[in-house]
Amino acid sequence: MLIEVLGTFIAIVGFAVLLDTPRKYVLLAGTVGALSGFVYLLGIKWMLGETMAAFVSAILAGIVSHILARKYKTPVIIFLLGGILPTVPGAGMYRVVYSIISGNAAMTEYYLTETLQIAGVIALAVFLTESFFKLFVRDGWKQNSLRYVKQSEKRVTGR
């Protein structure tokens, strides 16, 4: 499993370079992807099923991506793309097309259902983490530690 996680890290770093991610964030994007891939593999090992493992992995990727984006003041997508990439059902899509070409309707239905479920839970996880983090910024008020400071006051007073 360690080799698979290392391979995921290298693949995500390569993907981040391909997408012109700023250099200082490439290794962080790879780390988010490796962490997400590790959780996905762990979920499958613990027999959660591919769909549930993808959901937990994508939730973790969303949370970590938002935290890193706020820490480094960069868009969330820089880390989120690498984070959800290990859970994308590329092999499932291949199996769907292969079973269609083979003429095996039962396997086509099975693989299509599984692939759509995984894609759906990835989208749901991204939506849930986005919604969760948007709850912290509401009506111009931003949570700042344990107190709330209006953003316009923060700009004027410099606090």
| Confidence label for 153 from pLDDT (cuts 50, 70 and 90) | low
pLDDT of 34:
98
In 3D space, the residue among 78, 63, 76, 40 whose CA is nearest the CA of residue 129 turns out to be: 63
Residue 3 in contact with residue 37, Cβ under 8 Å? no
Q: Is the confidence at residue 6, as pLDDT, over 80?
A: yes
Tokens coding 64: 């970590």
135 φ, ψ (degrees, to nearest 5): -65, -20
Cβ burial of 112 (10 Å; 0-12, 13-18, 19+) is: middle
pLDDT digits (tens, 9 = 90+) for 59-110: 999 999 999 998 999 999 999 999 999 999 999 999 999 999 999 999 999 9
Better-predicted residue by pLDDT, 139 or 136: 136
Q: Is the confidence at residue 156, as pLDDT, over 60?
A: no
pLDDT digits (tens, 9 = 90+) for 8-52: 999 999 999 999 999 999 999 999 999 999 999 999 999 989 999
Q: DSSP 3-state assignment of 150?
A: strand
For the chain, give every domain's residue range.
Answer: 2-148
